[in-house]
Amino acid sequence: MACSPRLHKLQPRTWAWTLCLIIALTSPAFAQPLAGAAADDEVIRSLCRKVGRKLNSVSYSECLRAGLKPTGAVSVKGGPIVARDFLPPSGVTPRARVLLIGGIHGDEFSSVSVVFKWIAKLAKNRSNEFHFRIAPLVNPDGLLRKRSQRMNANGVDLNRNFPCPEWFRSTQDYWVRRTSRNPRRYPGPAPLSEPESRWLVNEIFSFDPQVIISVHAPFSVVDFDGPNQPPDRLGSLYLKLLGTYPGSLGRYAGTRLSTPVLTIEFKSAGIMPSAAEQRNIWRDLIHWLGKYTEEAQITAASAAVEEDEEAVEIGGGGG
């Protein structure tokens, strides 16, 4: 697998940082050959039966209609991590690659359910301008256990398990000193110790998204980490920068990789936003993506011009 161009910009600070990336990009979980179509279909049917029993807002048939496919990666307990790509109409170049994920915390039901609704909306939309890769349930073990939990099956908060400089010191300091060893915030024994977080890092480097959208609940805000301008609001959710935590996706991708991470925090983890609110958030999100990618292209073009001018000045115009 070819590495993203961003990999060459990282300038790792420690051997552990480099090791984390090697683990994520070479883990056997991502090298499994795809099973046959019939086997893949049964994997999806089995997952949809479980999702339909757990979530009142996503039926078995709706889950099947989402058209999800196994990615080849599995959770701690062997649950499939599934995804679907949406591309613009044939002949149309995508304006950007967008990675949209839900359910990284298994007890945030709305973060899974609404992503399924947005998948259905994209499936009907013939004017999509972006290349979306959507994974509605990154933490299947957390959601599908009898009593759903934030963490994965190993009791690890996946959103504290991503690499960061001085990971062991900073995550332990945060977990011990700031959370008093709250088990819901346990970062794990090492960065990328969990197959689910390794899968997500692998996707970041293989898909190379220009934007990552992570759906959560229940803070009722829009959060943002990374370069350029976030939206002021999405639907009734207003921008409020919450800051990043050691081992979080925002600190890893948004701060370290300079890949913007837009976090949507619904008002309730257990109660769906209204259909109108879902539509409003999606409408504002698409509008912001268009504006954001246009500004990013202008910024990149300006930077290229400045580099060319600098090269001319350095080279001189001697004849």
Residue 239 DSSP symbol: B
- Reported as a pLDDT band with limits 50, 70 and 90, residue 319 is very low
Predicted TM-score of the model (pTM): 0.86
Q: 81 Cβ partners below 8 Å, 6+ apart?
A: 70, 71, 73, 74, 75, 135, 137, 138, 140, 196, 199
Is residue 4 over pLDDT 70? no
For the stretch 125-158, pLDDT in tens is 888 999 999 999 999 999 999 999 999 999 999 9
Taking the CA of residue 209 as centre, how many other CA atoms within 13 Å lie in the half-sphere pointing to its CB?
A: 27
Q: Would you call 68 helix, strand, or coil by DSSP?
A: coil
Neighbours of 60 (CB within 10 A): 15
In this predicted structure, which of 2-11, 54-63, 110-119, 184-193 has the lowest mean pLDDT?
Answer: 2-11
Residue 88: its H or E element: none
Q: What number is the average pLDDT over the span 78-101?
A: 95
Is residue 92 over pLDDT 70? yes
Q: What number is the average pLDDT over the span 18-46?
A: 67
Cα dihedral angle (55, 57, 62, 68), rounded to 10 degrees? -60
CB 268 within 8 A of CB 218: yes
Cα dihedral angle (26, 139, 150, 209), rounded to 10 degrees? 70
pLDDT of residue 27: 57
- Reported as a pLDDT band with limits 50, 70 and 90, residue 301 is very low
- 308: its two tokens: 């060319």
Is residue 28 over pLDDT 80? no
Q: 290 Cβ partners below 8 Å, 6+ apart?
A: 95, 129
- Reported as a pLDDT band with limits 50, 70 and 90, residue 15 is very low
- Which residue from 48, 52, 87 is spatially nearest to 68, judged by alpha carbons? 48
Is residue 315 over pLDDT 60? no
pLDDT of residue 35: 56
pLDDT of residue 125: 86
pLDDT of residue 302: 47
List C-alpha distances in Å: 290 to 101, 204, 231, 275.
19, 21, 11, 23
d(CA 145, CA 163): 27
- Reported as a pLDDT band with limits 50, 70 and 90, residue 21 is low
List C-alpha distances in Å: 57 to 20, 273, 300.
37, 11, 42
pLDDT of residue 62: 97
Is residue 11 over pLDDT 80? no
% of the chain surpassing 90 pLDDT: 75
d(CA 93, CA 88): 7
pLDDT of residue 49: 98
Q: What number is the average pLDDT over the span 282-305?
A: 76
- Reported as a pLDDT band with limits 50, 70 and 90, residue 3 is very low
pLDDT of residue 26: 55
CB 265 within 8 A of CB 217: yes
CB 134 within 8 A of CB 174: no
Is residue 303 over pLDDT 60? no
Is residue 9 over pLDDT 80? no
Domain extents for the chain? 10-307
In CATH, which superfamily holds the domain spanning 10-307?
Answer: Zn peptidases (3.40.630.10)
Q: Where are the alpha helices (H) located in the chain, listed in sequence order?
A: 15-26, 37-54, 60-65, 109-124, 140-144, 167-173, 195-207, 249, 275-315
Is residue 171 over pLDDT 70? yes
pLDDT of residue 256: 93
